[in-house]
Chains A and B, each alone.
Chain A
Amino acid sequence: MKVSVTVNGRQVDADVPDRTLLVHLLRDVAGLTGTNVGCDTSSCGACTVLLDGRSVKSCTVLAAQADGRDVTTIEGLADGTGEMHRVQRAFHAEHGLQCGFCTPGMVMASISLLAENPSPSEDEVRSALEGNLCRCTGYHNIVRAVLAAAGED
């Protein structure tokens, strides 16, 4: 089917098989490979993107379900000058990543959290990241990074 999705402000038009998953539209059609496929079973959260501003796991959303809607991926966060988003800067400053595979999903889930709750407690950050797994087990610094980013506001 024909889909038209606004990805990071840019319109992506494609004629894809009906069963195409959003993550494959992003990676294979739009060429945005920052969104990772981890477990592919909606458990790990590595494929998290924002759909109309709210975090979703793009391995469990059809491209057709995103037709006509806004998607933001990790590539869409830095501003026009290349200045990183405050959550990206906080992950950098707090060493909130080790191998980096979960990081795009962690950052997108964190941005969704901060949009809903600009001043989360540590417990609220941990609850909000329940859907994102870090197999390096770098959770403490990830939580610190999200709290630091919230404090920047």
Chain B
Amino acid sequence: MGNLISPLVGKGHGRPLMLVGIGIALFITLMSIAAPFISPHDPTLIGFGPVDRAPSAQFPLGTDQYGRDLLSRTIWGGRFMLLVAVTAVLICMAVGLPIGLVSAYNGGNLDRTVALVMDSIYAFPSLVLAIIIISVFGVSIINESLAIAVVYIPTYFRVVRSQVLAIKEMPYVDAAKSVGASGPAILLKYILPNVISSIVVVGTVNFADSILTTAGLDFIGLGLPVTLPDWGIDLFYGRQLLPIGAWWTIFFSGLMILLAALGFSLISEGYAERMNPKLR
């Protein structure tokens, strides 16, 4: 556990990156959680304000073609994305981690088969896979989370597996076995702690990727039910106003998606850099 906390303190290279990332991520998370309290207006109210108005004192971020206040929509817009991302990451960890650990540790033909299947999925473009899953099963938070999770599980699997395979051969594991330690015990005591830091790195990247994929799905029209405030949906609609130069309809939502993805990516990079001296 010390492994998780130690990168946060102490000088070194990746720290500024990581802290900026944490800052951004925290900002967005808090904003999304506090949305009902800090949003000035109801983001779904159609015709609340004048249509297609540029940012002004009354509507700091402008209004969209339905007269909805964009500031409110921007504050509210992250909730579903974050929810989907959290769910997806949790599912990935819950599935990918055990499969990776057990399969790699036991080895043999089963491991090779599982690895082959995982590699095949891994090679597939994530968005395409998400698209076909969503198109077949329909749109809902759980479905989106599942689609993204399926796409990402192979990554967890691979990372965990490579670590396990490396550690499995280490002398101290043999030493533990020679004094009678059982398989699961070895997994838990020796392998898991080493794997955790990799998981953090993959998890945060996964999170960022999930946000981008969700936004992508929204943009295609496979997103969440369209009446709800969501950054991706804003881009989907705002696009229609581009030819007249109505930049505000897409800019702020797009910026928020970027920031959300950026925040978690920075955490991932910063953390990885702290743990890996070679990159300094």
Q: Do A and B bind each other?
A: no
Could you list which residues of chain B lie within 8 angstroms of chain A, going by C-beta atoms?
none
